[in-house]
Amino acid sequence: MNVRAKKVSTLTTILAVLIIGTFYGVFYFFPVGNLLKYGTEFTTIKEVFSSSSTWKVIWFTTWQALLSTFISLLIGIWIANVFTKFQFRGKQFLKALSIIPFVMPTVVVATAFISVNEFLRLDGTMFTLQGSTFGIIIAHVFFNTAIVVRTVGSIWPLIDPESEMAARTLGSSTSSTFLRVTLPQLKASIFASGSLAFLFTFSSFGVILLLGGLEKATLETEIWRYATQRTDFKTAAVLGIVQLTIIIVMLALNSRSRRQGAAVLKSGTSSTQPTCANTHFLKFRLGTCVVFIAGFLGLPFALLVERSLSTNNGYSFLYYKQIFLESSERFSVFGTRQAILNSLMWATFAMIIATILGLLAAILMTHKSPKLSRSSDVVLLMPLGTSGVLLGFGIIVSLDTSILDVRSEWWIVPVAQAILGVGFVSRIVSTAIRNQNPELKQVAQTLGAAPAKVWWHVDMPIISRSLIAGSIFAFAIAIGEFGATAFLARPQRPTIPTTVFNLLGRPGAATFGQAMALSVILALITATAVSVLDRTGSVVGNEI
């Protein structure tokens, strides 16, 4: 590379650093820092750490997160395997189904799980979903499997099947091949999705609160309790610092191991094409997985649909009609149609911000300099593991100067959602960048493509698939309204989750039914958006 090209590349990197740095600095570090400073008093620190319940909370938070992540990985890899290897009818549908849990408001999922509990008569048994650690873990797996399936599933097709065939001819059994040949090639994406899942389960809030039964407390719920119910910011801040420290440590470890395990998949040579299941054994493999997906992911959803359709007069679409037609006066306060529009708009906005920033971030994360890539690896994902309460409160406390009083602007919500989404996009995209075949770029150069053109014509089509995968998540996060946004001051524009919340916040069979119907609609919107994006992903790869 000659001097000019090097200068351009350095300039791009500097630009990326400045943009990302400013965005994160203003909307994350500054607000969170402002709150965490309450936790720097020595007496409070001493108090918090000398209490045994603090240690119990830390311990519980950590091990339930690890266990949830581990199981999510197992199940996610299994499902990703089936999606990669097999072509079958209804595959699109199942793929979309696997991401819906991620979007659903926690309250709705909790309701669905209770229904499952009743339906399967688990209450009172060891496997009860309500008020047990088992329930928490299952719910976490329910939410987070999507991350694993999507991340690992976008990389798996790029593995050269011949490497597996070679292993088989050398005497390795199917399972041994999987462990020794396939899995190492998936390491990077497994780490990527695993760390994301850990972040979510570690700082999980709604699930613990609603399903965990009240004896289960995690760092996040304790922070919430002290900050919002006791107005004790000092204790909350100390706990917040503890939470953040553990997250940073985990991210740093994870960053190191990702680097060591990066295998270069030659995208461009033969890739795994999905085939039909021909033999009995293959059909069985496919079948068990489909049944599992349908059952595990689909059953709660099915029960939700059932609840949305069951009126006092038997089954009908009554509640759906009510949502869309808004004929009855008393329901006009809920503004359901507007809510759907608003949700879509805000989520799209957040998704766009997260995608652009995520791409820039991915560039930083795959930079040649190990210091830059490692530090951005850790820093960019910190928001996902930070307490939503602290971030939301932090924004409210900090962004209050006359120039910067954005606390109540409508766009602070998608911006906060975007910050959470950037981590996803950058993780998934950087994995794809690392896995690229370098020869493609070299060939393009010899064919007369300047570095910018190389990037556009060669890198982008290949990265775009992973970019789409990341954007989908950013969209899903935004439309399900996660985390920090619950603690911001939001201008009252109804969104689907807030409307569901309002509907569930008052008694009445009709409002409950409408809430269920609206949740089903939310799921369908997400599924549709996801399928559209999925299709665009493969089309983008084929365009000129």
Partner 1 sequence: MKSNGLKVADLSVHIDEALILSDISFEIEPGKTLAILGPSGCGKSTLLKSISGLIPTSSGDILWNSRSLLSSPVHKRGIGLMFQNHALFPHKTVQENIRFGLEMKKIPKSQADKAVMKLLDLVGLRGYASRSVQTLSGGESQRVALARALAPEPKLIMLDEPFNALDRSLRRRLIEEIYGILMSLGITAIHVTHDSEEASQIADSVLLMNNGNLIDHGKFHDVIKSPKNAISAELLGLQTLWKPILERRNGLYGINSPWGFKELPEPIASSYKVLVRPEKIKVGLNGVEAVVLNNVYVSGQKLVKCLVSDSFSVHVKTDEEFNPGQRIKLQLNLSDIEILVEHTV
Partner 2 sequence: MPAEEIMKVQAKLVSVFIAVMLLPLLVVACSNSDDNNNVAKRDCLTAEDSVTITTTSEDSKAVSGESIDLVVYDAFLAPPGAFEKFTEETGIAVNILTTADTGTMVSQAVLTSGDPIGDVMFGVDNTFLCRALLNNVFSPYRPSTWDQLEESLKLDPFARVTPVDFGDICLNYWIDDTRNQPTSIKDLTDTEYAGSFVTQNPETSAPGMGFLLASIAVFGEDGWEQYWKDLRNNDIEIRSGWTEAYYEDFYSKERNIVTSYATSPIAEYIFSDPPLSKPPTGVVGDSCFRSIEFVGILRGTDSPVASAMLIEFLTSTYFQELIPETNFVLPANKKAELPETFKKFLKTDLEPVMIAPELIELKRNEWTESWTQIVLR
What end-to-end distance do the CA atoms of the chain give, in Å? Answer: 26
Q: Which of 348, 375, 445, 531 binds partner 1 (CB under 8 A)?
A: 445
Half-sphere exposure of 61 (CA within 13 A, CB side): 29
Task: Please count the residues of this chain forming the interface with partner 2, following the rule CB under 8 A.
Answer: 79
- The pattern of x and - marking residues 208 through 237 that bind partner 2 according to CB under 8 A reads -xx---xx---------x-xxxxx-x----
**At its nearest, how many Å lie between partner 1 and the CB of residue 466?**
13
Please spell the DSSP secondary structure of 412-430, one letter per residue.
HHHHHHHHHHHHHHHHHHH
**At its nearest, how many Å lie between partner 1 and the CB of residue 540?**
8
Q: Is residue 339 at the binding interface for partner 2, with CB under 8 A as the rule?
A: no
Residue found under tokens 């047990």: 132
- Restricted to residues 408-437, the positions that interact with partner 1 (CB under 8 A) are 437
Q: Which of 487, 520, 521, 537 binds partner 2 (CB under 8 A)?
A: 487
Please, which residue, 450 or 532, has the CB nearer to partner 1? Answer: 450
Q: Which of 325, 404, 450, 509 binds partner 1 (CB under 8 A)?
A: 450
- Restricted to residues 265-304, the positions that interact with partner 1 (CB under 8 A) are 266-271, 273
- How many CB atoms sit inside 10 A of residue 42's CB? 7
Given partner 1, partner 2, none, residue 524, with its beta carbon under 5 to 8 Å by kind, binds none
CA 36 to centroid of chain Cα atoms: 25
- Restricted to residues 72-131, the positions that interact with partner 2 (CB under 8 A) are 107, 110-111, 114, 118
Half-sphere exposure of 90 (CA within 13 A, CB side): 10
Residue found under tokens 């039964």: 213
CA 504 to centroid of chain Cα atoms: 25
**At its nearest, how many Å lie between partner 1 and the CB of residue 461?**
5
217: left (phi over 0), alpha (psi -120 to 50) or beta: beta
Q: Is there a contact between 169 and 28 (Cβ–Cβ < 8 Å)?
A: no
- The pattern of x and - marking residues 515 through 544 that bind partner 1 according to CB under 8 A reads --------------------------xx-x
Question: In this structure, what DSSP letter does residue 330 have?
Answer: G
Question: Which residues of 227-322 form beta strands (DSSP E)?
Answer: 310-311, 314-315
Task: Please count the residues of this chain forming the interface with partner 1, following the rule CB under 8 A.
Answer: 33
Please, which residue, 162 or 405, has the CB nearer to partner 2? Answer: 405
Q: Is residue 507 at the binding interface for partner 2, with CB under 8 A as the rule?
A: yes
Q: Is there a contact between 286 and 86 (Cβ–Cβ < 8 Å)?
A: yes
- The pattern of x and - marking residues 5 through 34 that bind partner 1 according to CB under 8 A reads x-----------------------------
- Restricted to residues 451-470, the positions that interact with partner 1 (CB under 8 A) are 451, 453-454, 457-458, 461-462
Question: In this structure, what DSSP letter does residue 99 have?
Answer: T
